């Protein structure tokens, strides 16, 4: 089942937060706040925000334990909360997912299930993609944008040394919003290009990580084109964008799904 913040599971997580939040509270974010780190994070957050709609083709690979599934994908998106994405296998449609910002609708082209609509805003896609990534994060990633949540404080993490796996140093920026306990981390290279993004809860364990492996040039914009999303259990989703079109007109009806599609 798709999950929302109104689920009982969500409230149990709040109780867990009350137990473990001491780890987060030990960091004095207000005093560590750094205007240079904040401005750099804001610049990264604002990247490609001129993209109002996106359309594209690509590949989606889901890996969990020994199981691996590969789909071709086609999508139309209107960030921050609207998307129509179809998963295809051997060029035949398998599943279409539509979000209109208020609810999400699933349609199985193979007859696996009937048309299903969930009145949930920004649900988790864990039951579909195996990773607890939310649909608005996928919409932003498929629109060339970074799914950074609102933040008030930012500072450079100069206590640890980070690299990209090829011994190239990375700079880490820690982000925190005043109203919640979640922490975000951005890792950038020497050219201030984002290489990794992590969302954690209570500064204990990552919910998931996004690795930015490659990019393509679309007009004057640099679009992340190869992305690896990984959770704490090493479940992985690999996204590859092969064709990308921006700011094309999109009919409102594209984000409505019925039995007639």
Rounded Cα distance, 32 and 178, in Å? 13
By C-alpha distance, which of 126, 107, 129, 132 is closest to 117? 107
Architecture of domain 8-255: Clam (2.50)
User: What pLDDT score does 168 carry?
Assistant: 86
User: What pLDDT score does 49 carry?
Assistant: 97
Other beta carbons within 10 Å of 40? 18
Three-state SS string over the chain comes to: CCCCCCCHHHHHHHHHHHHHCHHHHCCCHHHHCCHHHHHHHHHHHCCCCCCCCEEEEEEEEEEECCEEEEEEEEEEEECCCEEEEEEEECCEEEEEEEEECCCEEEEECCCCCCCEEECCCCCECHHHHCCCCEHHHHHHHCCCCCCCCCCCEEEECCCCCEECCCCCEEEEEEEECCCCCEEEEEEECCCCCEEEEEEEECCCEEEEEEEEEEEEEECCEEEEEEEEEEECCCCEEEEEEEEEEECCCCCHHHHCCCCCC
Rounded Cα distance, 221 and 44, in Å? 13
Q: What does the domain layout of the chain look like in residue ranges?
A: 8-255
Burial of 33 (0-12, 13-18, 19+ CB in 10 A): middle
Rg from Cα positions in the chain: 19
Interstrand relation of 67-78 and 82-89 (parallel, antiparallel or unpaired): antiparallel
Instruction: List, for the chain, all residue ranges whose pLDDT scores fall below the cut of 50.
Output: 5, 8-25
Contact 213, 237 (CB under 8 A): no
Distance of alpha carbon 247 from the chain centroid: 20
Rounded Cα distance, 100 and 73, in Å? 19
User: What pLDDT score does 61 carry?
Assistant: 96
**Whether the predicted model's global pTM rises above the 0.95 cut:** no
Q: pLDDT tens across 25-71, in order?
A: 456 788 889 999 999 999 999 999 999 999 999 999 999 888 899 99
User: What pLDDT score does 3 carry?
Assistant: 52
First to last CA, the chain: 22
User: What pLDDT score does 151 carry?
Assistant: 94
């Amino acid at each position: 089942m798709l999950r929302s913040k109104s689920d009982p599971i969500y409230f149990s997580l709040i109780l867990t937060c009350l137990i473990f939040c001491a780890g987060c509270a030990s960091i004095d974010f207000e005093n560590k706040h750094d205007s240079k780190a904040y401005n750099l994070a804001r610049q990264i957050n604002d990247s490609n925000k001129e993209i109002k709609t996106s359309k594209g083709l690509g590949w989606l690979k889901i890996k969990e334990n020994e199981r691996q599934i590969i789909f071709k994908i086609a999508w139309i998106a209107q960030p921050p909360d609207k998307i129509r994405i179809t998963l295809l296998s051997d060029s035949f449609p398998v599943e279409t997912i539509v979000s209109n910002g208020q609810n999400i609708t699933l349609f199985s082209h193979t007859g696996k299930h009937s048309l299903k609509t969930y009145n949930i805003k920004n649900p988790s896609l864990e039951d579909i993609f195996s990773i607890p990534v939310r649909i608005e994060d996928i919409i932003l990633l498929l629109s060339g944008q970074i799914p950074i949540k609102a933040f008030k404080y930012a500072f450079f993490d100069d206590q640890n040394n980070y690299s990209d796996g090829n011994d190239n140093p990375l700079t880490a920026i820690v982000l925190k919003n005043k109203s919640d306990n979640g922490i975000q981390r951005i890792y950038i290279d020497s050219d201030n290009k984002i290489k990794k993004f992590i969302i954690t809860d209570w500064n204990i364990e990552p919910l998931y990580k996004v690795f930015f492996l490659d990019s393509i040039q679309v007009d004057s914009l640099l679009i992340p084109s190869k992305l690896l999303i990984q959770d704490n259990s090493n479940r992985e989703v690999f996204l590859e964008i092969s064709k990308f079109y921006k700011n094309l007109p999109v009919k409102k009806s594209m984000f409505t799904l019925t039995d007639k599609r």
